[in-house]
Structure 1
Amino acid sequence: GDHGVMPLGSQEPEFFDDTAVQLARVLGANVTVALDHAQRTAQLRDRDAELQREIDRLEKFAGLVSHDLRNPLNVAAGRLELARTTVDDGDTLDDLDRIADAHDRMEELIDDLLALARQGRTVDELVSVSLADAAARAWRTVNTADATLDLPEKSLAVDADPERLRTLLENLFTNSVEHGSTNSRTGSGDSVAHAADSTADADGVTVTVGALTNGFYVADDGVGFEIDPDEATEYGTSSDPTGTGFGLAIVHEIAAAHGWTLDVVDEDGARFEFRTDG
């Protein structure tokens, strides 16, 4: 067998009768089971030790990253407060408010990074979330330039971890704005509108959040994918040479953590369909 040989013998001819042979076979089977169990236990112990080492490394990495991110973020927040005292123009103050919102969101993401490393989970308690409200909040923290958002009816809700859902939508919106338009976007905007009264700039992409019979979708009317849509949600895959390839991969991970299925469609733009019924 896999564990070697257990010798049993005698110098006397025909020493082992049929009963003794049967008992020897039973003994061999029991020893095999015991050795298999010991081997599996050792493998599980090694696997648990390796997993714990990975968790420890991840937690250490998350702590270092959060520390390195908080330092420049604190500087930026201080400069922002100083800037508030030097201007009184309403539009400029609105822009500063959006910057403050982005700072707050960065703080939340840093906290989530630490929580993910320490708790080893990607979703928390699921609650009923208005998709329109979640999309509006996510849109506010994305550099949307001249893009337009079409929101669903407020009655459309999904059972989700609110923060993970927000992160999912932020990554989808960022992808649409950065890859959906033929124009390069360097400005910022906050053009949230309902579908009934949306108007998009001729060169701006329109992002639509809507209902499916068993879930919801996020779609844009941009140029679509330059790569295979099935590969777009893999870590490290991006049509932009300077991109990280993390955005849509994070979307896929969050959807999977909720038990949703994700279909990516490349037709008249990019469309992401989430089936939430498992």
Structure 2
Amino acid sequence: MSTDDIRIERKGARADLILNRPRRHNALTEAMWLAIPELLAPLAEDESLRLLVVRGTGGSFASGADIGEFETAYATLERAETYSNGIADGLNALADFPKPTLAAIEGVCIGGGCGLALACDLRFAAEGSRFGITPAKMGLAYPFNDTKRLAEAVGLSTAKDLLFTGRHVSADEALQIGLIDRLLEPGALAETVSDYAALLETRSSVTARITKAMLTRLEAGQTDEDAITRQWFLDAFTSADFKEGYRAFLDKRAPDFKRRQD
């Protein structure tokens, strides 16, 4: 894989996971899927990171897995399992990333590209974007984790419709059904994402980390508090962020969570 096909670009407290195959509308090769966990691992441990943005180049988000690889990828059941596991590992690494994640979508967001967007916490899209999840057009099944993420975003009935038909969805409909969280005018996407990253930079990373961990357990089916979630809640009171937050409140000033308090 060319290192330019997928890469991390750091911008202060924000990191971008960039899909860079514009001639193929950023279709993801097997090597790109396999690279995602490796690229995200060091960022997960970076305390200065506030937001991970996933975006494509050339006016597209991602057109899905690279169909040019399918003949070899699905040549045997064993090979298909290896290939599918690699895709799942990439999507799960993004879904399990401990910090807030945002898909910045323009152009096509189809198949595995839509799966990649659904693995993010939030999805902002530009007008004119197109969405679709298309296993029904290829005689394939959609994996359980991917199906779960879709159903959580749009509800069971709409998930059934999208998967049964494989139809494409406009950006307006995507907003209406909950597939995306914000719909922006052309040219406003990059600025809005930058503004959102700047906002998160002023907020507590401790709050974001614990909140995301709590919501992950909720999505997994946990219905009641347990010893772990209770401890997460209590741990926040001993954090440097809380010390800075309440001191700022008493001082009637904006908190600076970049500070490290003893």
TM interval, short-chain normalised: under 0.3
Q: TM-score, normalised by structure 2?
A: 0.24
- TM-score normalised by length of structure 1: 0.23
Structure 1 or 2, whichever has the larger Rg, is 1
